[in-house]
Chains A and B, each alone.
Chain A
Amino acid sequence: ETGVTQTPRHLVMGMTNKKSLKCEQHLGHNAMYWYKQSAKKPLELMFVYNFKEQTENNSVPSRFSPECPNSSHLFLHLHTLQPEDSALYLCASSPSEWDSNTEAFFGQGTRLTVV
Chain B
Amino acid sequence: GQNIDQPTEMTATEGAIVQINCTYQTSGFNGLFWYQQHAGEAPTFLSYNVLDGLEEKGRFSSFLSRSKGYSYLLLKELQMKDSASYLCAVRDGDYKLSFGAGTTVTVRA
Contact = CB atoms under 8 A, between A and B. Distances in A.
Contacts of B4: 42
Given A100-B50, A103-B33, A4 B87 contact: no
Interface of A: 2, 4, 35, 40-43, 45, 48, 56, 90, 97-101, 103-109
Contacts of B98: 42, 45
Nearest to A104: B97
B30 A100 contact: yes
Interface stretch (B38-46, B60-68, B71-79): B38-46
Contact of A100 (B42, B91, B101): B91
Contacts of B97: 45, 104
A90 B89 CA distance: 15
Contact of B48 (A2, A4, A41, A103): A103
A40 B96 CA distance: 21
Contacts of A48: 96
B100 A100 contact: no
Which of A4, A56, A106, A108 is the most central at the interface, judged by chain B CB atoms within 10 Å of its CB?
A: A106
Given A43-B99, A101-B31, A106 B44 contact: yes
A40 B101 contact: yes
Given A42-B4, A97-B95, A100-B31, A105 B45 contact: yes
